[in-house]
């Protein structure tokens, strides 16, 4: 019997805020911390913790610098992060397909 699609969900990626960070960051070359915070409606501390989890897993890279005189933090999705996001989306797609195909 084939493995259930939920077995393919990645605990690091699947958490809704981390999935949001990866998804938003994958849409651009890099994304600014403040944009992520407002888009995902997270506190700075909560967002920082989720970014740290993703960075430890090698799924995002964090760059600190300045935009003029203002300190900024940018988040980039790494190639491993893009692969993990694609795998997560494939698992979610398989779950949806399984649900749609199941008799009601």
CATH number, domain with residue 75: 1.10.10.10
Establish if 2 belongs to a structural domain.
no
Measured CA to CA, the distance from residue 78 to residue 25 in angstroms comes to 10
Establish if 15 belongs to a structural domain.
yes
| pLDDT at residue number 2 | 67
| pLDDT at residue number 14 | 87
- Dihedral pair phi/psi, residue 59, rounded to 5°: -95, -20
| pLDDT at residue number 99 | 82
Establish if 102 belongs to a structural domain.
no
Establish if 3 belongs to a structural domain.
no
Establish if 80 belongs to a structural domain.
yes
Three-class SS state of 55: helix
Instruction: Find the domain containing 89 and state its range.
Output: 10-95
User: What are the pLDDT tens digits along the chain (104 aa)?
Assistant: 568 878 888 889 989 999 999 999 999 889 999 999 999 999 999 999 999 999 999 999 999 999 899 999 999 999 999 999 999 999 999 989 888 887 76
Establish if 101 belongs to a structural domain.
no
Task: Answer for the pair 12, 2: CB distance below 8 angstroms, yes or no.
Answer: no
Order of strands, sheet of 60-67, starting from the edge strand that comes earlier in the sequence: 31-32, 70-77, 60-67
Task: Answer for the pair 54, 81: CB distance below 8 angstroms, yes or no.
Answer: yes
Which tokens sit at 95? 């779950």
| pLDDT at residue number 104 | 66
Dihedral angle sign, alpha carbons of residues 12, 15, 18, 23 = positive
pTM for the model stands at 0.88
Establish if 27 belongs to a structural domain.
yes
How many domains are there within the chain? 1
| pLDDT at residue number 98 | 84
Establish if 65 belongs to a structural domain.
yes
């Amino acid at each position: 019997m084939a493995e259930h699609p939920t077995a393919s969900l990645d605990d690091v990626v699947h958490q809704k805020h981390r999935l949001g960070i990866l998804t938003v960051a994958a849409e651009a070359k890099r994304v600014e911390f403040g944009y992520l915070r407002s888009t995902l409606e997270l506190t700075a501390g909560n967002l920082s913790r989720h970014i740290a989890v993703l960075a430890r897993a090698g799924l995002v890279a964090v760059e600190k610098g300045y935009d003029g005189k203002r300190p900024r933090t940018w988040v980039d999705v790494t190639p491993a992060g893009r692969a993990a996001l694609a795998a997560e989306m494939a698992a979610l797609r398989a779950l949806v397909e399984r649900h749609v195909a199941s008799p009601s």
